[in-house]
Amino acid sequence: MRDFEIGREHYLRKEYKDAIKWFTIGAGKGCCTCMNWLGHCYEYGLGTEKDLVKAKDLYFGSFERLTSSEQKEESGIWLQERLETLKDIPIRSSDSRFISGIGNIRVVRSKYSFIPPKIRFNKNEAVADIEYRESLTEGFAYAERTLKEMYSEWTCDGINKFYDGYVLKTDFFTLKVQHKDVSDYISIIDDRNLTIYVPEDISFDFLYAQIYILKKAKVLLIKRAEAIIPLKLKEVADRIGTSFKKCEIVPSNRTWLARNNYRGSKIEFCAKAIQLPEKSLEALCVHELTHNFISGHGPSFHKKMIELGGEEYHKLDRHLFQEGKWPYLKI
């Protein structure tokens, strides 16, 4: 492997720091030979401070990949000897570090083998779950590589990432996100004005910060939807001469925007519907109230909807949330 060959050349010239750089790259890609040589550098403090915990982690990750026959060969026997020498050193199940431009990362080794790695997010860190056989060095390489790729593609509204001074204006609310000298995230609702304050030591470049801000925004939008949508549905129902018994706001992880469960007994709206322009939300209300009369979406439904709300609402209803028509949070 190229990474190992370059690293070994540096090692043989006693350029240990450069050797560690290349062995680390190779180990992050799962190269067992790089893990062995990198473990050796940590065990004996070559080009770095001696770290027996890291050395054992690398030896362990390399040994666990060997087949039973490979374990009996020269490299396998050497690894067994190293692990025996370090038998009193615990095998670390997790480790954390800060990586510039990415933020806090914690790698957690599972109790199980042959499970795919995954990334999850907490408020102040990204967590990489790896299988039992992998070294923590591999886990950090996987996390850094994956998080960079995820961040490059991620948006909060289909166009932007959150940034200091981010503003989203809609007919029913204005959301602002900004840095403030606070110790924790703060969310404020003042009528139609929604504000999220982010601690100044949290960078908008950290994906876990972006995701947590979106989570906080979702809570605010749900509350705003609960305040606005039932009243809007009642207003439209009175206007077109029908009624409903209950209106309920549900989380936005749905494929639909709204549904009439049974002829007005309960009409549910996804919270993300609060981001629609006012006329489009009214069109959605007319759509669901039309189901008080017609259950399906055949020609008779569309005829009835036009009868109740008119051509304008019918046309708006058929083009809700068109991509690029207006920005909206991906909640």
**Model confidence pLDDT, tens digit, residues 255-300:** 788 999 877 689 999 999 999 999 999 999 999 999 999 988 999 9
Burial 152-164 (b: 16+ CB within 10 A, else e): eeeebbeeebbee
Mean pLDDT in residue range 194-223: 96
- Does the pLDDT of residue 106 top 70, yes or no? yes
CA–CA gap between residue 42 and residue 61 (Å, rounded): 14
Mean pLDDT in residue range 64-85: 85
What three-state secondary structure class fits 180?
Answer: strand
> Which sequence spans correspond to the domains of the chain?
1-92, 97-147, 154-331
Mean pLDDT in residue range 196-202: 96
Mean pLDDT in residue range 28-49: 94
CA–CA gap between residue 120 and residue 57 (Å, rounded): 23
CA–CA gap between residue 278 and residue 142 (Å, rounded): 45
> Which CATH fold would you assign to the domain 154-331?
Zincin-like (3.30.2010)
Mean pLDDT in residue range 240-245: 93
Cβ neighbour number for residue 90 with a 10 Å cutoff? 10
| Better-predicted residue by pLDDT, 205 or 322 | 205
Nearest to 168 by CA among 151, 179, 156: 156
Nearest to 327 by CA among 170, 143, 164: 170
What is the pLDDT at residue 324?
47
Percent residues over pLDDT 70 in the chain = 97
- Does the pLDDT of residue 327 top 70, yes or no? no
Mean pLDDT in residue range 4-24: 95
Residue where the block lists tokens 């001074």: 165
Strand partners, 285: none
CA–CA gap between residue 28 and residue 109 (Å, rounded): 15
**Model confidence pLDDT, tens digit, residues 144-158:** 999 999 999 999 988
What is the pLDDT at residue 269?
95
What is the average pLDDT score of the chain? 92
72 pLDDT tier (thresholds 50, 70, 90): confident
Nearest to 220 by CA among 243, 242, 201, 195: 195
Element spanning 98, H or E: strand 94-99
Per DSSP (E only), the strands in 222-300 are: 247-250, 258-260, 267-270
What is the pLDDT at residue 328?
81
Which residue type is seen at 275? Q
Nearest to 20 by CA among 41, 49, 50, 43: 41
Mean pLDDT in residue range 6-35: 94
